Structure 1
């Protein structure tokens, strides 16, 4: 079961990973660079993620 504490802790860990990537790379790079760096940082921090999956949209 997903609890509020789990969500709060996960959010804290994700924000920490994002801050670390930005601290190391700085600003102004292409989005794909940050994406790949963040994927590596998530792996280092054992944060499960999925990237670039298709979501059906009806318009």
Structure 2
């Protein structure tokens, strides 16, 4: 999604079992929005989103 030529948010997907990565992204302001299943690896993931309006 774009807003005035800038992105309004950034999203990523991280394995649920990668707790250190999930903690890192939480500390950076990302929040869990949804979950997904990776057929290739047979592991669940979190879809995380960071709103651009959190920029200093």
Instruction: Give me the TM-score of the superposition, normalised by structure 2.
Output: 0.33
Structure having the higher helix fraction is 1
Structure having the higher strand fraction is 2
Instruction: Give me the TM-score of the superposition, normalised by structure 1.
Output: 0.32
Structure with the bigger RCO (C-alpha within 8 Å, sep 6+) is 2
